[in-house]
Structure 1
Amino acid sequence: MGFTEKQEALVKESWEVMKQNIPEFSLRFFTLIIEIAPAAKNLFSFLKDSNEVPKNNPRLKAHAVKVFKMTCESAIQLREKGEVVVADTTLKYLGSVHVQKGVIDPHFEVVKEALLRTVKEAIGEKWNEEMNGAWGEAYDQLAAAIKAEMKEELDQLNPSTTPLN
């Protein structure tokens, strides 16, 4: 089916709302990640040594902005190009970092849940199943691209030995 024009419009519309208060929503996003999966805190260098999500942590805010922005921009690319388009170097870096940190599939689901809940809180009454589906699809496509890079990274780190026939 692909990412529809309507889905793209919904993601863009809600992103415009969230951009008005990135510090608040980035903090909420990471608070939700830690609430859903407390052990995830150890995956983030800027949260690792803290007992709570720091409210004025510039690295946390910068990271959350990147996640929101990349998800939104990849959603727009889904519509325009039919696939996630992120600079190869960025995707390779994301794949490498996620492998180094030990990120696994359930971690992506935690981030997705936190992202959807953050968007829902940010846009309030405008939230509906279509909006949920649009952000969910955008995130799933970006996560799939990162996972593909992670697999490539792992394959390079652990080349499989092919038996000779």
Structure 2
Amino acid sequence: MSTLSSDESPKGTRIFTEEEEALVVKSWNSMKANSGEWGLKFFLKIFEIAPTAKKMFSFLRESTVPVEQNPKLKTHAKSVFVMTCEAAVQLRKAGKVVVRESTLKKLGATHLKYGVVDEHFEVTKYALLETIKEAVPEMWSTEMKNAWGEAFDQLVAAIKSEMKP
């Protein structure tokens, strides 16, 4: 006999509901065309909240151009934003975070190497939610905030599971 509640999957992560999926998909479809712009805004929010986070990126430590003009940051920010959003969109279909296993292992190793801790993930989550709120203000709601928050939490759990020394 199972002791799982109806909204939990076997691994203890909450199942992403149809309603949450619809909110995430709708907002991602609206942001996708400008994912580079929104990705950069996402990272600039992180640096606004936690300026020392810039030190975690070698391409920023060694840069002579303003952060918002750094081409490597623009590329990195877009790829992180797209990966985060695509993982969120796939959550219900797959029942888990969908990122290539090799990518997940690399993310775990990189986050471990640079000393990423829970507080960093919290700042990132806040910055992500604020960016999405800014990107789709006409769609934004408590339900959408909760859906994106859940999707992000599940992605972080998957990354943390690979943060092994």
TM-score category by the smaller chain? Answer: 0.7 to 0.9
CA distance in 2, matches of 1:116, 1:45: 26
C-alpha contact 1:30 1:53 (8 A) present in aligned 2 = no
The equivalent of 2:154 in structure 1 is: 141
Matches within 5 A, 1:143-158: 143-150=156-163, 153-154=164-165
What amino acid maps onto 1:66 in structure 2? S
1:12 aligns with 2:49: no
Q: Deviations over 1:3-56 (max 9, x none)?
A: 011211211111122222233212211111011111111112232245885233
Distance, in Å, in 1 between the alignment partners of 2:66 and 2:151 is 26
Q: What is the TM-score normalised by the length of structure 1?
A: 0.84
In 1, distance between residues paired with 2:151 and 2:138? 21
Please name the residue that 1:86 is paired with. Answer: 99
Distance in 2, matches of 1:26 and 1:73, equals 13
- In 2, the alpha carbon distance for the partners of 1:143 and 1:6 equals 21
The residue type equivalent to 2:137 in the other structure is G
Cα deviation, residue 87, structure 1 = 1.2
The corresponding residue for 1:111 is 124
Which residue of structure 1 aligns with residue 55 of structure 2? 42
The sequence identity of aligned pairs, in percent, is 57
Q: 1:60 aligns with which of 73, 80, 89?
A: 73
Q: 1:12 to 1:51 in 2, by over 3 A?
A: farther
Gaps spanning 5+ residues in structure 1: where? Answer: 155-165
Q: Structure 2: which 5+ residue stretches go unaligned? A: 1-6, 8-14
* Structure 1 range deviating more: 47-56 or 6-15: 47-56
Query: What is the alpha-carbon distance in structure 2 between the residues aligned to residue 127 and residue 100 of structure 1?
Result: 35
The alignment covers a number of residue pairs equal to: 152
| 1:99 Cα deviation from its structure 2 partner | 0.9
Deviations 1:63-113 (A, max 9, x none): 222222222222233201211122110111001111111111110011101
Does the C-alpha gap of structure 1 residues 106 and 51 become closer, same or farther in structure 2, counting only changes over 3 Å?
farther
Alignment pair present for 1:72 and 2:76: no
TM-score (norm: length of structure 2): 0.84
Find the counterpart in structure 1 of residue 3 from structure 2. Answer: none
- C-alpha separation in 2, matches of 1:17 and 1:33: 22
The answer to which of 126-135 and 76-85 deviates more is 76-85
Q: CA shift at 1:58, angstroms?
A: 2.6
Aligned to 1:160: none
CA RMSD of aligned residues (A): 1.8
